[in-house]
Amino acid sequence: MVDAIILAGGENNADLNRYTSQPYEAMIDIGGKPMVEFVARALAASGHISRIFVAGPARELRKCTFPDNTIIVNSGQTIMETISLGMKALSHQNLTLVVTADIPLLTPTALDDFLNQCAGIEADVYYPVVTRSDHEQRFPGNKRTYVRLQEGTFTGGNIFLVNPRIVPQCVEIAERIIADRKNPFRLCCHLGWTFVVQFILGTLKLKQVESRVSEILGIKGAVIRSPYAELGIDVDKPSDLDLVRNCITQSC
């Protein structure tokens, strides 16, 4: 069993502001409920989750209906600051699941598969990737940010399993990586020019990325290949919002 932290402090971007008056992504209405409630419900239904910490605007979040094992904490000014505050609230140093609040299609099955795969690997940070083919088969026409590697073309998930002990040493570099998360080329630049060339040629391997990121951060990282496209559906733009609303309505 692991505790989970939902990152619910993100403000709406300019594109989404035209479609909703909610100032926070986590509070966007999906089928009559704030988006963050769907994420919390999926976590609570997993057989691997103990407590759920929701880090965001406390006053707004208290209006939500959360599972009984939910604890609300205030968020920080940045993603990494919010993660740090959530980790402090845990009062332990055990592996912890970190989940963004904008993935309302998250399912207990996807969570359990990810955590079961992590259990067989020793690492400090575990991060899921989904192949383009798996994503497009599940959600045809949905546009994501993809990275082409030797093993195939992948998009990233929006959950992490993290050792709280490594968070303080990773904050500065992680902030830069997060800022470039939607730009594969700039992400690759963090790895060095050799990796840039391999990325351009399509010869870069998952294991090389895993090893280099581990070296840069001074940790042990593990990339987990997930077949569940729901991990990559984050609500960043109006088309994403339409997709998840339709899926929730149709229970797809």
Ordered by where they begin, the domains of the chain are: 2-250 (3.90.550.10)
pTM of structure: 0.88
Percent of the chain with pLDDT strictly greater than 90 = 57
Distances in Å between the alpha carbon of 145 and those of 17, 18, 107? Answer: 21, 22, 21
3-class SS letters over 210-229: HHHHHHHHCCCEEEEECCCH
* Structure-block tokens of residue 208: 């090389």
pLDDT reported for residue 195: 62
pLDDT reported for residue 137: 95
pLDDT reported for residue 169: 77
Return the sign of the alpha-carbon dihedral for residues 65, 118, 157, 100: positive
Amino acid at position 17, single letter: N
Instruction: Render pLDDT for 96-138 as a digit per residue (tens, 0 to 9).
Output: 999 999 999 999 999 999 999 999 899 999 999 999 999 999 9
Q: Tokens 């990275």 identify what position?
A: 147
Question: Residue 163 has what DSSP assignment?
Answer: -
Q: Are 204 and 194 in contact (CB under 8 A)?
A: no
Return the sign of the alpha-carbon dihedral for residues 130, 131, 133, 134: negative
* Structure-block tokens of residue 157: 């998930």
Question: Which residues are 33's β-sheet partners?
Answer: 30
